[in-house]
Amino acid sequence: MREFLCTDCDFKKIANLVYSACGIVLGEHKREMVYSRLARRIRERKLTDFKAYLEYLDNNKDQEFDAFINAITTNLTSFFREVHHFEFIKSHLVPALLKTNKDSRRVRIWSAGCSTGEEPYSLAMTLNNAFPSNWDVKILATDLDSNVLAKAQKGIYTAANVNGLDDVQLKRWFLKSKNGENYKVKDKLQESISFRRLNLLQDWPMKGPFDLILCRNVVIYFDKETKDQLFKRYANILNEHGYLFLGHSESMGKEHSQYNSLGKTMYQKGHNAR
CA-CA distance, 139 to 233, in Å (whole number)? 19
Sheet holding 182-185, edge to edge: 156-158, 182-185, 174-176
CA-CA distance, 48 to 45, in Å (whole number)? 9
Catalytic residue among 10, 81, 108, 143: 143
CA-CA distance, 215 to 246, in Å (whole number)? 5
**Quick one: which segment of 113-121, 170-178, 180-188, 255-263 binds ligand SAM (CB under 6 A)?**
113-121
Q: Residue 120, preceding bond cis, omega within 30 degrees?
A: no
Residue 248: CB atoms within 10 Å: 14
Q: Indicate the helix (H) or strand (E) that contains 269.
A: strand 266-269
**Quick one: which segment of 111-119, 121-129, 185-193, 231-239 binds ligand SAM (CB under 6 A)?**
111-119
37 is catalytic: yes
Considering only residues 118 through 137, tell me which ones interact with ligand SAM, judged by CB under 6 A. Answer: 119
Does 143 help bind ligand SAM (rule: CB under 6 A)?
yes
Complex with ligand SAM: residue 10 or 145, whichever CB lies closer: 145
Complex with ligand SAM: residue 25 or 159, whichever CB lies closer: 25
CA-CA distance, 108 to 136, in Å (whole number)? 8
**Quick one: which segment of 7-15, 47-55, 158-166, 213-221 binds ligand SAM (CB under 6 A)?**
213-221
Considering only residues 40 through 79, tell me which ones interact with ligand SAM, judged by CB under 6 A. Answer: 73-77
Complex with ligand SAM: residue 134 or 249, whichever CB lies closer: 249
Inter-residue contact 218 to 142 (CB < 8 Å): no
Closest contact distance (angstroms) between CB of 222 and ligand SAM is 8
Contacts of 91 (CB under 8 A, 6+ apart): none
Complex with ligand SAM: residue 23 or 101, whichever CB lies closer: 23
Among 140, 165, 200, 235, binds ligand SAM (CB under 6 A): 200
Question: How would DSSP label each residue in 165-208?
Answer: S-HHHHHHHEEE-TTSSEEEE-HHHHTTEEEEE--TTS------
**Quick one: which segment of 22-30, 34-42, 178-186, 252-260 binds ligand SAM (CB under 6 A)?**
22-30
31 is catalytic: no
Considering only residues 215 through 244, tell me which ones interact with ligand SAM, judged by CB under 6 A. Answer: 216-218
Binding site for ligand SAM (CB under 6 A): 22-24, 73-77, 81, 113, 115, 119, 143-145, 148, 199-201, 216-218, 247
Q: Looking at the annotation, which residues are catalytic?
A: 37, 143
